[in-house]
Amino acid sequence: MTDTDVPGNYGPNGRILDGPGPRSIILDCDPGHDDAFAIMLARGSPGIDLRAITTVAGNQTLEKVTRNARAVATICGITGVPIAAGAAAPLVRPLRVAADIHGASGMDGPALPAPTVPLDPRHGVDVIVETVRSQPAGSITLVPTGPLTNIALAARLAPDIVGRVREVVLMGGGYGGGNVTAAAEFNILADPEAAHIVFGAAWPVTMVGLDVTHQALATPEIAARIADLGTAPAAFAVELLEFFGRMYSAAQGFAAPPVHDPCAVALVADPAVVALRPAHVEIERTGTHTTGMTVTDFIGRGGVALDHRVGVELNRDLFWDMMIAAIAAISEG
């Protein structure tokens, strides 16, 4: 086995839990244009059983990202899946939003419908804990695509779930540099203390960082494939990309927007989508220029265990085929 053949599906204590049927996930997100694509992929992929959506302040305030999550769920016809609001701020630091990319609403561009999907009255962290406890050990995968505040709080509130969660597959970080600073990616920089807790807990963690997600560019050809589906969810997706693309071009000079968050969901649905390498990741929390950096060791200097998995390459064709098929499936739902 080469170091890029690390399979993605470990359970507690490293047990491989590959088995038939879709992977049960909780999507913890901060919609967010690319979070919306993660919701659509989770809804439409046959490889995913979406068990709950929890929201966390990040791209915008908790109120706004939660409204956006409910609106996307309404567009996708998601019913019977709890949607619950989680943390309104990072563990220690003040909230910093990403209006430069996602706009004042957190999902500027398309007109959003009034949500018809109810808001679960429980706190999002309680929904994470209760859902994990209610399912067989090793069956629930946590997929965070925003700051890791809720995941860290869940691990502290209910340490027993750390051994029950199959794995944490997160969008965040990167070993080749950041996007908010030269060193730090937004989700990690938003709450480095939470990231430190999550990467340091005794559950399997897979980091799908910018090294992978900057390969998931929604080019005009991809947008055209989505538009050709000719359905309401497809039209919504195209409108998201139009705004997201303009903002990414203005803010970071991208010719096409990187659709970060569904890369994590896609990896859970099919390990072939992202090549992984074993590594050890530490979170920088005090550096003047490096706070929020995911310091990634692929060698194991000083004998440190390579206890994390880090995405290194995206199978672009497979990813976009999965993403577009999922949007099509939503239309048929």
Interacting stretch for Ca ion, rule CB under 5 A, among 48-56, 126-134, 138-146, 199-207? 138-146
| 35 near Ca ion, judged by CB under 5 A | yes
Instruction: State the catalytic residue, choosing from 102, 196, 214, 260.
Output: 260
Residue ranges with strand state E in 81-183 = 83-85, 140-144, 167-171
Interacting stretch for ligand RIB, rule CB under 6 A, among 44-52, 69-77, 179-187, 234-242? 179-187
Interacting stretch for ligand RIB, rule CB under 6 A, among 119-127, 183-191, 225-233, 291-299? 183-191
Q: How many residues bind ligand RIB (CB under 6 A)?
A: 16
Alpha-carbon distance 321 to 114, whole Å? 30
Catalytic residue status for 260: yes
CB 163 within 8 A of CB 253: no
Per-residue burial over 192-212, b if 16 or more Cβ lie within 10 Å, else e, is bbbbbbbbebebbbbbbbbbb
| 108 near Ca ion, judged by CB under 5 A | no
Distances in Å between the Cα of 233 and the Cα atoms of 60, 71, 110, 319, 324 are: 23, 12, 11, 18, 11
Q: Which of 81, 107, 112, 171 binds ligand RIB (CB under 6 A)?
A: 171
Toward Ca ion, which CB reaches closer, 213 or 296? 213
Q: Which of 23, 24, 28, 35 binds ligand RIB (CB under 6 A)?
A: 35
Alpha-carbon distance 284 to 178, whole Å? 12
Q: Which of 90, 146, 257, 292 binds ligand RIB (CB under 6 A)?
A: 146
| 86 near Ca ion, judged by CB under 5 A | no
| 32 near Ca ion, judged by CB under 5 A | yes
| 204 near Ca ion, judged by CB under 5 A | no
Toward ligand RIB, which CB reaches closer, 97 or 328? 97
247-266 positions binding Ca ion, by CB under 5 A:
261
CA dihedral 14, 163, 169, 186 (to 10 degrees): -130
Q: Which residue blocks in 136-205 are alpha helix, DSSP H? A: 149-157, 186-190, 192-200
Q: Which of 9, 23, 34, 76 binds ligand RIB (CB under 6 A)?
A: 34
Give, for 26, the enclosing helix (H) or strand (E): strand 23-29
Give which of ligand RIB, Ca ion, none residue 185 binds (C-beta under 5 to 8 Å, depending on kind): ligand RIB
84: left (phi over 0), alpha (psi -120 to 50) or beta: beta
- Residue 283 DSSP SS3: strand
Give which of Ca ion, ligand RIB, none residue 179 binds (C-beta under 5 to 8 Å, depending on kind): ligand RIB
Interacting stretch for ligand RIB, rule CB under 6 A, among 27-35, 151-159, 229-237, 318-326? 27-35
| 141 near Ca ion, judged by CB under 5 A | no
| 58 near ligand RIB, judged by CB under 6 A | yes
Which of these, 182, 162, 194, 55, lies nearest to 117 by C-alpha position? Answer: 55
Q: 270 is written with which tokens?
A: 């099919």
Alpha-carbon distance 198 to 88, whole Å? 18
CB 282 within 8 A of CB 326: no
Give which of Ca ion, ligand RIB, none residue 167 binds (C-beta under 5 to 8 Å, depending on kind): none
Greatest CA separation for the chain: 56
Catalytic residues: 260
Q: Which residues bind Ca ion (CB under 5 A)?
A: 30, 32, 35, 145-146, 261
Judged by the rule CB under 6 A, the positions of this chain that interact with ligand RIB are 30, 32, 34-35, 58-59, 98, 145-146, 171, 179, 185-187, 260-261
